[in-house]
Amino acid sequence: MPAFTATAPAKIILFGEHAVVYGRPAIAVPVTSLQARAIVRPEPRAPHGQVRLVAAAIGLDALMEELNPDHPLRRVVELTARELGAAYLPACQINIQSTIPVASGLGSGAAVSVAVIRALAAYLGKSLPDEVVSTLAYEVEKIYHGTPSGVDNTVIALRRAVYFLRGQAIQPLRVGRPFTLLIADSGIPSPTATTVSEVRAGWQQNPAFYEQRFDQIADIVQQARLLIENGQPEQLGDLMNRNQILLQEVGVSSPELERLIATACQAGAAGAKLSGGGRGGNIIALVDEWSAATVSESLWKAGAQGIILTTVQ
Ligand code: MEV
């Protein structure tokens, strides 16, 4: 019996995290060197409709109905089966593997959802449009944190750079000239749900302060979009630094992230900022062929727990 496999990339947010939850735009890109993978294997001898979910990395090996109805993996399988018009799935085992670190702002949850959706669709001999894959994954994102903007599931389902505005049709972003980023992991896990709810608490207390920062971030995103489309990525560094200051002001940076960002800039990066929910997780630094090695070495020395070089194209 054949197995049906699908993969989905990680993602980083270049500009606009947090503000995007409040209706401002964001720019996000896939990171294909990190991937979630779902493998669906038919189990013809198992009772009809029996689905076994296996994710060795989190110690999961269970029948689907044994899981809480709100378990993200149960939810994604049920939503996908419903979307595909399958009252029962032919018995199978779904194996999930991922090289994307969790709770680090790289979209691990959305990537697992997208991989499972596509592998299940293939198992049933169908394929789903990117928009539908994204919408299904968004439903699962709501379990991870109540008010996701939808940027993670969108960029991961689309597998290319996006200019994202909540509630609007997916807008792929044309990259006029490729550019290179270093993604450095602080090693501090930081679930997006936590920072998103802290920002919400702050916003509720002082909406004017937060709205003003979100507007400034929106302005930066618009400028960044033009530079990316027009093939002037070397000018993005200044916008990254300005976005970072605003993220500090809304309270999602941390001394560890600030240290990595300062290190990257001192070593020759054109700009750097946190990416994703913040507090822990990853920073991104804009480098070129001359600065990449020096910046990378300095980040390791400053305590980065992992570094990825990625080209945005
Ligand atoms: C998470 O990758 C980005 C945030 O803006 C949350 C969201 O957009 O849902 C922090």
Condensed to tens digits (0 to 9), the pLDDT of residues 51-93 reads: 999 999 999 999 999 999 999 999 999 999 999 999 889 999 9
DSSP state string for 172-236:
E---SS-EEEEEEE-S----HHHHHHHHHHHHHH-HHHHHHHHHHHHHHHHHHHHHHHTT-GGGH
On whether the CB atoms of residues 84 and 126 are closer than 8 A, the answer is yes
pLDDT of residue 144: 83
Task: Confirm or reject: Cβ of 121 under 6 Å from ligand 1.
Answer: no
Task: Confirm or reject: Cβ of 149 under 6 Å from ligand 1.
Answer: yes
Query: What's the rounded mean pLDDT across residues 243-270?
Result: 98
Cα(62) to ligand 1 centroid in Å equals 30
pLDDT of residue 192: 92
Task: Confirm or reject: Cβ of 105 under 6 Å from ligand 1.
Answer: yes
Q: Which of 152, 185, 215, 219 is flagged as catalytic?
A: 152
Condensed to tens digits (0 to 9), the pLDDT of residues 144-165 reads: 878 899 999 999 999 999 999 9
Q: What share of the chain is helix, strand, coil (3-state, %, to 5)?
A: 45, 25, 30
Cα(82) to ligand 1 centroid in Å equals 27
Task: Confirm or reject: Cβ of 12 under 6 Å from ligand 1.
Answer: no
20, 77, 114, 156 from 152: Cα distances, Å: 11, 19, 10, 6
pLDDT of residue 88: 84
Query: What's the rounded mean pLDDT across residues 3-25?
Result: 98
Task: For 137-170, give one letter per residue: b (16+ CB within 10 A) or e.
Answer: bbbbbebbbeebbbbbbbbbbbbbbbbbbbeeeb
Condensed to tens digits (0 to 9), the pLDDT of residues 93-139 reads: 999 999 999 989 999 999 999 999 999 999 999 999 999 999 999 99
Cα(41) to ligand 1 centroid in Å equals 33
pLDDT of residue 173: 98
Res. 182 pLDDT band, cuts 50 70 90: very high
For ligand 1, atom 1: residue with the closest CA: 276
pLDDT of 281 higher than 80: yes
Task: Confirm or reject: Cβ of 21 under 6 Å from ligand 1.
Answer: yes
pLDDT of residue 244: 98
Cα(19) to ligand 1 centroid in Å equals 8
pLDDT of residue 110: 97
Q: Quote the percentage of the chain above a pLDDT of 70.
A: 100
Establish whether 152 is a catalytic residue: yes
User: Which residue blocks in 65-206 are alpha helix, DSSP H?
Assistant: 72-83, 108-123, 130-144, 151-158, 192-205
Query: What's the rounded mean pLDDT across residues 281-287?
Result: 98
Condensed to tens digits (0 to 9), the pLDDT of residues 202-215 reads: 999 999 999 999 99
Quote the pTM value.
Answer: 0.97
pLDDT of 270 higher than 90: yes
pLDDT of residue 95: 98
